[in-house]
Amino acid sequence: MLALVSLGAFESLAVATAMPTIAAALDGLHLYAPAFAVTLATSVVGMVLAGYFTDRSRPLYTLLGGGGVFVGGLLVAGAAGSMWALLAGRALQGLGAGAYVIALYVMVGEVFSPARRPRVLAMFSAAWVLPSLIGPVIAGVVVEALGWRWVFHGVALLAVPSALLILWAARHGEDRAQAETQSTIHIPSVAAESTVETPSAVEAPRTPRAAMLVRLALAAGAGAGVAVMSVASSTTGPGRAVGLAVGAVVVAVLGLRLLPAGTLTARPGLPALVGVRGLMAAAFFGAEVYLPLILQHERGLSPARAGTILTVGAVTWALGSAARSRSAWSSTAFLRLGSALVATGVVVVAFLTWAPAPTAVAWTGWALAGLGVGMVYPTLSLLVFEIARPGEQGAGMSALQTSDALSTAFALALAGALITPLVARLGSTGYLAGFGLSVALAVVAGLVSGRIQPHASGDDGVSPARATTA
């Protein structure tokens, strides 16, 4: 299982490193941002489907099915002859990744005894560490030595032994787990509200088919809205503005239906918390995806060297999380400091668009941003358990995941629409539009964080887990 988590982490970071080369090779720089947005959008659909099917059959089947779709997406992307074909592969990747991630967490309850489950879940977060350190550099070397297609094909090949290990674990761990006393915890799933009764077990949520179909339709509709925005951003003429407006409205209307009521207006409590998570995810990842592109295309760095900026952000993310877990500061203080660091970091990174500025500003700025988001993410996860009423913690975690994916997808589609024409006219200065959007989102997140109003300060930290389907 850890192998699969690490593989997903490596794929996410590797693709981010290689995407500038891929987009240039396929003559699709105008679709650079949608290549990330479409994966996040379809991952929500995969989560909904997985939440339903893991409840009605062994999660192993959903995991293998989702993993198969994910690998199929890798193969399609690796064989793509155009940027549109790549987008199709990336959409399949998101669909499969959303499904297998949910199934993977459900399998923890099926395979491991109650005493071992908390440790396994903690190890899932730790499984991001090594890929964060070596993934971008390895991806850069692969792109330079073998070509970008092997970034996808290589991950697809590595998925085979990972699947075999999971089959072995399921076979040998199931009997032992069934012999133990079973507790009940509903995992975070966008399929339905979930319930946390004890921290020692994981079991699939119970979702009526009709409710699943409604949420599936909402998720698919929101994903379609992101697709419309992505297509519109790559066109010119009067239809461009119409497409962007229609897509944005669809994402907003349908996407908000998947989140707690009051999220848009930052209603005090859980809605404000979910809103802050979406704002921070969009601010951080909306800026991150453009860093390898600017470093490679505007500053002339190799893919391997440019990819190290992602490693820097990952390392300081871990440091921020560690600082959060060892401090007695209030949660609100951490949220405001974290959002301020992200905003400041993006401002520093934005100096890359000024030719006289040294490239070192990128690493300096992204170290600050990583530190900030590392403080924010575990704080928000902890606050769910303080704010949500008994029996609603799982639904709160589900809402965090959904807000993370949809907000980032929407922000990337919007940033792509702003940046593409500006870069064509102004050169690297056009990237300031995307960085400005990220700064604004981080500032709003800091302002809104005071409306979360936790019942307690929450001094215990939790391990960070990055988004999975980039």
Enter the tokens of residue 156: 């697809």
For domain 263-465, the CATH superfamily is: MFS general substrate transporter like domains (1.20.1250.20)
Enter the tokens of residue 172: 């040998």
Q: What is the pLDDT of residue 296?
A: 92
Q: Which helix (H) or strand (E) holds 52?
A: helix 34-56
| Class of domain 1-184 as given by CATH | mainly alpha
Q: What is the pLDDT of residue 206?
A: 46
Bridge partners, residue 186, by sequence: 203
Say whether 234 sits in a helix, a strand or coil. coil
Q: Pick the closest to residue 215 from 247, 250, 257 (CA basis).
A: 257
Bridge partners, residue 185, by sequence: 196
Q: What is the pLDDT of residue 64?
A: 86
Q: What is the pLDDT of residue 236?
A: 73
Helix ranges (H only) for 234-268 are 238-257
pLDDT in tens, the chain (470 residues): 677 778 888 888 899 999 999 999 999 888 888 899 899 889 888 888 887 787 677 777 888 888 899 999 999 999 999 999 999 999 999 999 888 887 877 776 666 666 666 566 557 666 777 888 888 889 999 999 999 999 999 999 988 887 777 777 666 655 454 544 444 444 333 333 333 333 333 344 444 677 778 888 888 898 888 888 888 877 777 778 888 899 889 988 998 888 888 888 888 888 899 999 999 999 999 999 999 999 998 898 999 899 889 889 988 988 888 887 777 778 888 899 999 999 999 999 999 998 888 999 999 999 999 999 988 988 887 787 777 676 565 566 677 888 888 899 889 888 888 888 888 888 889 999 999 999 999 999 999 988 887 544 443 333 334 443 33
Q: Which amino acid is at 236?
A: T
Q: Which helix (H) or strand (E) holds 121?
A: helix 117-126
Contacts 24+ apart (CB under 8 A), 77-85: 77/152, 78/149, 78/150, 78/151, 78/152, 78/153, 78/156, 79/149, 80/26, 81/26, 82/26, 82/28, 83/23, 83/26, 83/27, 83/28, 83/31, 83/35, 84/28, 84/31
Q: What is the pLDDT of residue 437?
A: 95
Q: Do 64 and 317 form a contact (C-beta atoms < 8 A)?
A: no
Query: Structure pTM?
Result: 0.79
Q: Which amino acid is at 344?
A: T
Q: CA 176, 172, 463, 51 torsion: positive or negative?
A: negative
Q: What is the pLDDT of residue 82?
A: 94
Helix ranges (H only) for 350-469 are 360-387, 393-426, 432-448
Residues 6+ apart with CB under 8 A from 108: 1, 117, 120, 121, 202
Where are the chain's structural domains?
Answer: 1-184, 207-258, 263-465
Say whether 205 sits in a helix, a strand or coil. coil
- Residue 359: phi and psi, rounded to 5, are -65, -15
Q: Pick the closest to residue 250 from 228, 231, 270 (CA basis).
A: 228
The domains spanning 1-184 and 263-465 adopt the same CATH topology: yes
| Secondary-structure percent of the chain, ordered helix, strand, coil, rounded to 5 | 75, 0, 20
Q: What is the pLDDT of residue 164?
A: 78
- Residue 457: phi and psi, rounded to 5, are -70, -30
